[in-house]
């Protein structure tokens, strides 16, 4: 059942930042715990796509193990076949690889179903579990509250023999879904509600993606999680803070079962050839990763997809890893972001702009520069011949000569950004105005001589003259003007669809319902715009997922799926500066 991951295109940097989890691991190794071994696991439930919050856990689980020469298992928590899908399994594997991590073993909780069943029978034989006939509603009524103890189930004192018989008949399919559960027998007066005789098995007739129809009873997560950790030999089990109150149950189950010392419980693994060395793992909780202008609930993300409010799980506005990948965020930037955010026990919300800054930092170093015009206005250089054409050399990156140069065609008619011209300029405007001058990037200074309009008064084109002596290397190159603008040759430009993305939500906390709105009502209606733009021809044959900087406009990526030769499609990854904050 092991599967090695494909080599990652970008190796993740070891996690070296000091935090309380790293200190625990260092202390355990110094004390010789587990023989100094470090084994972690990433246990996603395959009921949706991974999001940026999961990336924090991935970086922690894989990063800690890598730093200390340990191992990490990718384990799918497939205990709820009602919500699981092979599509999600493959997406999760792809996302982990894309982030730059490899797993040492690929596991499924269903690999241990027989072990989990034997452990349940042991709990019954030891008087630590019983079959309960209460309905879900009755269980809730018996559970009590945070201030009042619960009441024992009327079925709590069944004999070991009756419980074993009923549990085996549950497995055999004799009872209807929901008719009975197997519950741990702990303490209905416990101050921790999770310890008030929690359910550990329920009846659910449903075909499982791995085991088919072999089972009609399935273990609950809290029960399956700790046993799976133990049989896999996990040493440090990292969980988010919401599982802190579940840790006593995690430890209780392991205390009752003693998996390292009871070979009979793991016999099914030896028979199947999936033998591991059980250990006693330690659960350690940390604060989850939260960002503003974002929701991280799988249920809400699923609703956005199923209700058609976004264009799928990989919509570039979604916080899913598939979405941010399509948006153009890089694995290195995401890893850097979570490393800088740190690992603590303090819940906090990090500004999305901090993640965007990490993306800018990464792309600035390596993304080649290109020219593109998103909102075109024609500029005609009237003192050039109508057939004038030439090729101008531009560096691919102003800070990295090793990336070389490219040839960009130049002709008499150009496209410029419409916002680079103003008939009535606002204060501080330093671009083109009637009778004014501006420098065309790499060409020289042009003067606007005439503004040609359509019948409706809209501007059709600008007629300009070029001062040929102001090109670089010529005597007039030092002549000063305040503005420099980019352009593309109208004759040679390539048409493309360019998608401009903003935050999916207009509210910093979409989950805040104090204004009477649901999270869906906080959606940003301007989060996606599609423009028909003009690009320099070197972009026509770029491969999907190529990152570029459109000069003066931002960082863009060739769409992972829709971009093709002859049909360029680019997504804006991030602006050159935090324009979203400036607009608030």
Is 223 in the same domain as 359? no
Is 115 in the same domain as 214? yes
Is 104 in the same domain as 202? yes
Is 265 in the same domain as 308? no
Is 406 in the same domain as 439? yes
Of 451, 468, 491, the residue at which a domain comes to its end is 491
Distance from chain centroid for Cα 260? 36
Give percent of the chain with pLDDT exceeding 70. 96
What was the pLDDT predicted at 477?
Answer: 87
pLDDT tens-digit readout, 160-213: 999 999 999 999 999 999 999 999 999 999 999 999 999 999 999 999 999 999
Contact 536, 493 (CB under 8 A): yes
Active-site residue 288, yes or no? yes
> Which residues define the annotated binding site for ATP?
45-47, 51-57, 240, 296-298
Of 259, 286, 313, the residue at which a domain comes to its end is 286
Domain assignment present for 4 = no
The total of other beta-carbon atoms located within 10 Å of residue 483's CB is 15
Is 148 in the same domain as 274? yes
Q: What is the Cα–Cα distance from 58 to 67, expressed in whole angstroms?
A: 14
Strands 437-440 and 444-453, by their bridges, are antiparallel
What was the pLDDT predicted at 579?
Answer: 67
Q: How many domains does the chain have?
A: 3
- Output the average pLDDT for the chain: 94
- In this structure, of 87-91, 270-274, 330-334, 437-441, the range with the lowest mean pLDDT score is 270-274
Domain assignment present for 215 = yes
Whether residue 448 has pLDDT greater than 60: yes
- Among 83, 288, 441, 447, the one annotated catalytic: 288
Range 302-317 average pLDDT: 96
Whether residue 3 has pLDDT greater than 80: no
Is 168 in the same domain as 146? yes
Is 459 in the same domain as 501? no
Contact 583, 512 (CB under 8 A): no
546: domain CATH number is 2.40.240.10
What was the pLDDT predicted at 196?
Answer: 98
Contact 363, 554 (CB under 8 A): no
Is 485 in the same domain as 503? no
Domain assignment present for 99 = yes
Contact 226, 281 (CB under 8 A): yes
Domain assignment present for 387 = yes
Q: Which residues, in sequence order, are bridge partners of residue 545? A: none
End-to-end alpha-carbon separation of the chain, Å? 51
- Among 37, 45, 406, 413, the one annotated catalytic: 45
> Which residues define the annotated binding site for L-glutamine?
77, 221
447: its two tokens: 């003067």
Domain assignment present for 126 = yes
112: domain CATH number is 3.40.50.620
Of 17, 12, 28, 153, which is closest to residue 72 (Cα–Cα)? 12
pLDDT tens-digit readout, 222-275: 999 999 999 999 999 999 999 999 999 999 999 999 999 999 999 999 888 887
Q: What is the Cα–Cα distance from 375 to 459, expressed in whole angstroms?
A: 13
Domain assignment present for 134 = yes
- Among 22, 41, 171, 298, the one annotated catalytic: 298
Is 125 in the same domain as 33? yes
Of 286, 309, 343, the residue at which a domain comes to its end is 286
Range 360-380 average pLDDT: 97
> Which residues define the annotated binding site?
45-47, 51-57, 77, 221, 240, 296-298
Domain assignment present for 13 = no
Going by pLDDT thresholds of 50, 70 and 90, the confidence category of residue 13 is very low
Is 358 in the same domain as 380? no
Going by pLDDT thresholds of 50, 70 and 90, the confidence category of residue 583 is low
Active-site residue 517, yes or no? no
Is 414 in the same domain as 546? no
Question: Domain containing 160: what range?
Answer: 20-286
Active-site residue 356, yes or no? no
Domain assignment present for 15 = no
pLDDT tens-digit readout, 104-123: 999 999 999 999 999 999 99
């Amino acid at each position: 059942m092991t599967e090695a991951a494909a080599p990652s295109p970008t190796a993740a940097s070891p996690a070296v930042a000091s935090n309380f989890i790293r200190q625990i691991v260092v202390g355990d190794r110094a004390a010789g715990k587990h023989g100094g071994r470090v084994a972690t696991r990433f246990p996603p439930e395959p009921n949706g796509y991974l999001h940026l919050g999961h990336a924090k856990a991935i970086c922690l689980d894989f990063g800690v193990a890598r730093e200390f020469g340990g191992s990490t298992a990718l384990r799918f928590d497939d205990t709820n076949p009602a919500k699981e899908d092979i599509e999600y399994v493959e997406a999760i594997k792809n996302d982990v690889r894309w982030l730059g991590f490899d797993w040492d073993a690929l596991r499924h909780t269903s690999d241990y179903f027989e072990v989990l069943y034997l452990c349940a029978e042991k709990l019954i034989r030891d008087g630590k579990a019983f079959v309960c006939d209460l309905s879900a509603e009755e269980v809730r009524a018996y559970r009590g509250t945070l201030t009042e103890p619960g009441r024992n189930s009327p079925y709590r004192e069944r004999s070991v023999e009756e419980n074993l018989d009923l549990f085996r008949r549950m497995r055999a399919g004799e009872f209807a879904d929901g008719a009975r559960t197997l519950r741990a027998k702990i303490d209905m007066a416990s101050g921790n509600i999770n310890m008030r005789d929690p359910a550990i098995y329920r009846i659910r007739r449903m075909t499982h993606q791995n085991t088919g129809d072999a089972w009609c009873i399935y273990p609950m997560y809290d029960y399956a999680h700790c046993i799976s950790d133990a049989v896999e030999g996990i040493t440090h089990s990292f969980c988010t803070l919401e599982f802190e109150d579940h840790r006593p149950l995690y430890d209780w189950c392991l205390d009752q079962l003693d998996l390292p010392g009871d070979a009979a419980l793991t016999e099914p693994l030896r028979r199947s050839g999936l033998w591991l060395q059980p250990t006693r793992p330690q659960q350690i909780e940390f604060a989850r990763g939260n960002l503003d202008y974002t929701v991280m609930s799988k249920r809400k993300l699923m609703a956005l997809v199923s209700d058609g409010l976004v264009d799928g799980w990989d919509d570039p506005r979604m916080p899913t890893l598939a979405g941010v990948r399509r948006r153009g965020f890089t694995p290195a930037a995401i890893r850097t972001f979570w490393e800088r955010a740190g690992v603590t026990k303090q819940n906090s919300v990090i500004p999305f702009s901090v993640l965007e800054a990490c993306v800018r930092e990464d792309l600035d170093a390596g993304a080649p520069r290109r020219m593109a015009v998103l909102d075109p206005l024609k500029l005609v250089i009237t003192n050039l011949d109508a057939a004038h054409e030439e090729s101008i050399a531009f560096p691919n990156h102003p800070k990295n000569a090793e990336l070389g140069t490219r040839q960009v065609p130049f002709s008499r008619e150009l496209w410029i950004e419409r916002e680079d011209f103003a008939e009535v300029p606002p204060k501080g405007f330093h671009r083109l105005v009637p009778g004014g001058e501006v420098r065309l990037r790499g060409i020289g200074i042009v003067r606007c001589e005439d503004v040609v309009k359509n019948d409706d008064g809209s501007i059709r084109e600008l007629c300009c003259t070029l001062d040929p002596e102001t090109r670089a290397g010529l005597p007039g190159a030092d002549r000063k003007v305040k503005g420099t603008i980019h352009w593309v040759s109208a004759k040679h430009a390539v048409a493309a669809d360019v998608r401009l993305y903003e935050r999916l939500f207009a509210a910093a906390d979409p989950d805040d319902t104090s204004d009477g709105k649901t999270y869906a009502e906080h959606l940003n209606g301007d989060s996606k715009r599609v423009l028909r733009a003009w690009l320099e021809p070197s972009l026509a044959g770029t491969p999907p997922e190529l990152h570029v900087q459109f000069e003066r406009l931002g960082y863009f990526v060739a769409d992972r799926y829709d971009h093709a030769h002859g049909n360029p499609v680019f997504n804006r990854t991030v602006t050159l500066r935090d324009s979203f904050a400036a607009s608030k």
